Structure 1
């Protein structure tokens, strides 16, 4: 079974403690998405505006924001820091200052739950603190509350933007899906936001109306258009039953000794919590790792017949330990998303009985390529159910980059031509093998466009294809900037138009090289292949 690892969450240069929070306790699988990259949450690391935090079924996280707001995230939670501004150097004597009016603390709850003690921002201006959810906004009139959001599978997919293969890979790397079982959280049922008040009051607001909840009261919301409802009886919640909120030392305490020992706390030597910032003491007492490196990962572009509609081309970036490799370092198993009759679902694809054939490698670019061959390929879905396909049915061609722990960046201006350095021999769905006569690739980084053309021959048929595609976010929110994909708008077979095709690929760092997979279709027949390119000399 594949072990899943993820990038280590590290402190980025230039982050100011005044506009950030700090992780004080983490257990289980917890990840932070920042700038299109996924990191593993670690104790003492910072979280900032724009971060999305996800906890697995065993994950928990405690955060203290710079205004001393305390957050405890439950398992199976997805939580965002939508907007956060706080000048930590101010003391309580500046409550009436203009700078205080600029402070805000806006969070988002996409699923799961958390408990909170609000800090200075909420104390100075209750309207400056809020939590957005799909069905209502949570505002405060007090200091402590809990919230839990149950989201059905189909709505969770929309909220989490998981309807693309890259997101499924991120979930798998984060431990939310374990290969072999691929257990996904079961959020079946109706969307339901439940909020309980520990101290003070909370207001729930949406298009249907508003509801104020006071000490010990619970409320519930099921849709934006339906007014929040007060519950006649409390909802059992271990967060309220086992945890007390102590405003004097701003700490969470729990009946669980481990949680008490490792939970949120005031750092030694910090100033009086009511007096404002302890940023300087935090810097001295809580050392944040500055030199942590991301874990190794590799790029993979493949063409196959995995999709329900037939052949297609896909590109992914995978952590090394979200893949299986053979003795040559070639990928023989990985996690991806497939379209199953309109529903995208995660699968582990693994070459069980076979080998990589038609293999080649280019040491200068670090690219290698090949085709899966042998008796069987297994596909394991989210329910742990396995399906076996023959390698001929799958017809999987791939090109991959070397494993690297560095970041991947591409130019933001200019254009570049690429020269073919190696490729697999194209194969058709009829089992015939041909040869690639010509392949060209170019990129315009000003317009974020790529252009691909091919000329190949298989089974006495000559195929010519030309098309364009996009880079990064142009393919969908969250897609890494070095991945690209597109369609062949012109596919001719023996000079006759009417075919179609797709291509997908990746650039290595600074676009020094590129890997591309392609899939062509015409009159029920498909042809797959992969190619490696290096940037042409200026």
Structure 2
């Protein structure tokens, strides 16, 4: 005689089977938990190939409307620009041949004291426009770079870290930028600090810091390196992407 299974046992077994099938499907698709984590940003513009490295070690090609989650590392190929809009309406444009890590992005509408934004510029360049977090609690926002930390004050600013790889970057004087971090401020102010010192930059100013052991300084506009972007990325209408990943957002390599 077969054992009698009551309704509760049947539901339990059914849920276990469905759970196993769901986890198996995720494994087959190559989508780790990062794909289902809470999104903190969205890719709105893209002009080339954009790769993301998730915190769990998986990687994927991104497209316009792809989600960004905490812990993601954005990697742009040569000639690739991308623009990301975050949950607090902050925006960031990443230059070609760059790596940017979204270490933390916490926005709590009702509890500003819980806000926390930490972006890490590993190499390359970016341009950032402060969102609601930076406007109501600017101390909660920071951008880490290899030569110092940038704090915002309701800002539109650019940052470019050169390591003998900025030869193609246009400069006012036509010279190749020397190695180090360049910043420029289009609106508001930023403060750049490292173990050697601290410097505030206001609207229209340019700055430079060679390394962690030298203080940041203000430099003339003729020596500055403004972080610019193509019109297709700066305009508000979503740009058509040339990447082959327009329908791919979960490919593990």
Per the alignment, residue 67 of structure 2 pairs with 46
Q: CA deviation at 1:29?
A: 1.6
Q: Which residue of 2 aligns with 1:128?
A: 140
For 2:151 and 2:106, the matched residues in 1 are separated by 17
Higher-strand-fraction structure: 1
Q: Is 1:197 the counterpart of 2:209 in the alignment?
A: no
2:251 match: 294
Whether the aligned pair in 2 keeps the contact of 1:8 and 1:39 (CA below 8 Å) is no
CA pair 9-141 structure 1, distance change in 2 beyond 3 A = farther
- Asked if structure 1 preserves the Cα contact closer than 8 Å seen for 2:66 and 2:249, the reply is no
Identify the match of residue 42 of structure 2 among 1, 22, 26.
22
The alpha-carbon deviation at position 142 of structure 1 amounts to: 2.7
Give the C-alpha shift of residue 16 in structure 1. 2.5
2:114 pairs with 1:102: yes
- Return closer, same or farther for 1:214/1:263 CA change in 2, 3 Å cut-off: farther
Q: Is the 8 A contact 1:70 1:118 kept in 2?
A: yes
1:67 matched to 2:88: yes
Matched-pair contact (CA < 8 Å) for 1:8–1:40: no
Q: 260, 267, 270: which is aligned to 2:235?
A: 260
TM-aligned CA distance change 1:118 to 1:9, over 3 Å: farther
Other-structure match for 1:163: none
Trace 1:160-175 onto structure 2 (pairs within 5 A).
Answer: none
Mark the CA change 1:258 to 1:152 in structure 2 (over 3 Å): closer, same or farther. Answer: closer
CA root-mean-square deviation? 3.0
Aligned residue for 2:220, secondary structure, equals coil
Give the secondary structure class of the aligned counterpart of 1:67: coil
Deviation at 1:258?
Answer: 7.1
How far did 1:143 drift?
Answer: 1.8
> In the superposition, relative to structure 1, how do residues 13 and 33 fare at CA in structure 2: closer, same or farther (>3 Å)?
closer
Consecutive unaligned residues in structure 1, runs of 5 or more: 1-6, 154-187, 244-253, 265-287, 296-318, 320-538
1-side partners of 2:125 and 2:31: how far apart? 22
8 A contact 1:130–1:140 mirrored in 2 = yes
- Per-residue CA deviations over 1:205-243 (Å, capped at 9, x if unaligned) read 00001000001000101111110011023425361xxx7
Contact persistence 1:10–1:292 (CA under 8 A)? no
Counterpart of 1:114 in structure 2 is 126
- Higher RCO, Cα 8 Å, sep 6+: 2
Q: Distance in 2 between matches of 1:192 and 1:56?
A: 21
TM-score (norm 2): 0.73
Task: Sort the Cα spacing of 1:257 and 1:111 in 2 relative to 1 into closer, same or farther, 3 A.
Answer: closer
Distance (whole Å) between structure 2 residues aligned to residue 8 and residue 109 of structure 1: 27
1:37 equivalent to 2:26? Answer no
- Alignment coverage as a number of residue pairs: 207
Q: Which residue of 2 aligns with 1:220?
A: 208
Normalized per residue, the structure richer in helix is 2
Which SS does the other structure have where 1:101 is aligned? helix
Shift of 1:79: 0.6
> Larger Rg: 1 or 2?
1
Find the aligned partners of 1:131 and 1:53 in 2 and give their Cα distance: 15
